[in-house]
Amino acid sequence: MTARTATPATDQPLTVTADDGVGLAGTLTMPGAPGPRPAVLLLPGSGRVDRDSNAGRVRLNLGPALAAALAEQGIASYRYDRRGVGETPGDWHRVGFHQNRRDAAAALRALRTQPGIREVAVIGHSEGAVHAATLAAHDQPAAAVLLAGYARPGRDALRGQAASMVGHLPAPLRAVATRLGPFAGRQVERVAASTSDVLRVGPSRLNARWLREQLDHDPRADLAAVRIPLLAITGDSDLQVDPADLEVIAGLVPGAETRRVPGLTHLLRVDEGRPSPLAYPRLLRRPADPDVLTQVAAWLAAHLRP
């Protein structure tokens, strides 16, 4: 296992180039200890999220927390703003699910070429975990960690998420959401049948290309092709990803280690109460669960060359 470093880590700006020439602006965190270091590419969840897994008022602040936990183990990390977010140019509404995956692959290749970096692993949360599984299968990172990643066709994952979120609302809100369900279902089918990058639903612009591609994606083929060390963690209070998918991952990936964390939500915060999407604002006032971050960093330190 890599020894912990007492020297403070440093953050430095780093822009890597995607396959089409777009510059993905991000942050490279380097441990203070000298010598070539392993590194980890950090991939966030879905939405208009920046390098720190923040989208407007929804602020997970997962990037800095993971970077700090990894640096304590002597591991570097890189995280970047998605297209059309933060300092990365583009129109977020037109970026597809597959484009996010291609950008992740480009960032992985670029990170391997950075001075002082010896080998590269990947950590993904939610949508990022699905892309991490694809990288693990086809781009040969040294190891992969899937945080709250699903292991079923995207359409099934979306249906399960909707049912779980509605089912954990208070009765009056659950009744309203149930009545709105058919309308939401029709909008999803409208998107699935579309060919446009962007659709309007009422006053809002919807990233139709991303949703269409996500609905059609089945991560199980990628998971079955993984032959590197893999850790999958999902909380038993996760309303957006079925923790039973850990069993699917374990069955598909030889030697995979899976951990189902009591009370852990999709936000990677522990909630001792009854799971509810209404608890999200309260949970976001807390930091990401330090025990989970420590587990992830320690596992990677044990699977990467010191």
Tell me the per-residue pLDDT of 30-43, one tens digit each, with 9 for 90 and over.
Answer: 998 778 999 999 99
Give the pLDDT band of residue 190 (cuts 50, 70, 90). confident
pLDDT for position 81: 98
Q: How far apart are CA 247 and CA 259, in angstroms?
A: 10
pLDDT at position 182 over 80: no
Half-sphere exposure of 187 (CA within 13 A, CB side): 16
**Domain extent listing, the chain:** 10-164+217-303
pLDDT for position 171: 65
pLDDT for position 6: 53
Q: How far apart are CA 161 and CA 166, in angstroms?
A: 9
Looking at residue 145, what DSSP letter applies?
A: E
Comparing C-alpha atoms, which of 135, 121, 137, 130 is closest to residue 225?
137
Q: CA separation (Å) from 170 to 176, 179, 183, 185, 189? A: 10, 14, 20, 21, 27
Q: What is 208-275 written as a DSSP string?
A: HHHHHHHHH--THHHHHT--S-EEEEEETT-SSS-TTHHHHHHHHSTT-EEEEETTB-TTS-B--S--
Pick 117 or 272 by higher pLDDT: 117
pLDDT at position 180 over 70: no
Give the pLDDT band of residue 172 (cuts 50, 70, 90). low
pLDDT at position 44 over 50: yes
Parallel, antiparallel, or unpaired for β 117-125 and 76-80?
Answer: unpaired
pLDDT for position 38: 97
The pLDDT tens digits of the residues spanning 192-247 come to 788 889 988 777 888 899 999 999 999 999 999 999 999 999 999 999 999 999 99
pLDDT at position 78 over 90: yes
Pick 181 or 14 by higher pLDDT: 14
pLDDT at position 191 over 90: no
Q: How far apart are CA 272 and CA 293, in angstroms?
A: 18
The pLDDT tens digits of the residues spanning 135-170 come to 999 999 999 999 999 999 999 998 899 888 777 767
pLDDT for position 1: 43
Q: How far apart are CA 136 and CA 141, in angstroms?
A: 6
The pLDDT tens digits of the residues spanning 89-141 come to 999 999 999 999 999 999 999 999 999 999 999 999 999 999 999 999 999 99
Q: Confirm or reject CATH 3.40.50.1820 for domain 10-164+217-303, answering yes or no.
A: yes
pLDDT at position 175 over 80: no
Chain mean pLDDT for the chain: 91
Helix (H, G, I), strand (E, B) or coil at 101: helix
Q: What are phi and psi of 301, to 5 degrees?
A: -60, -35
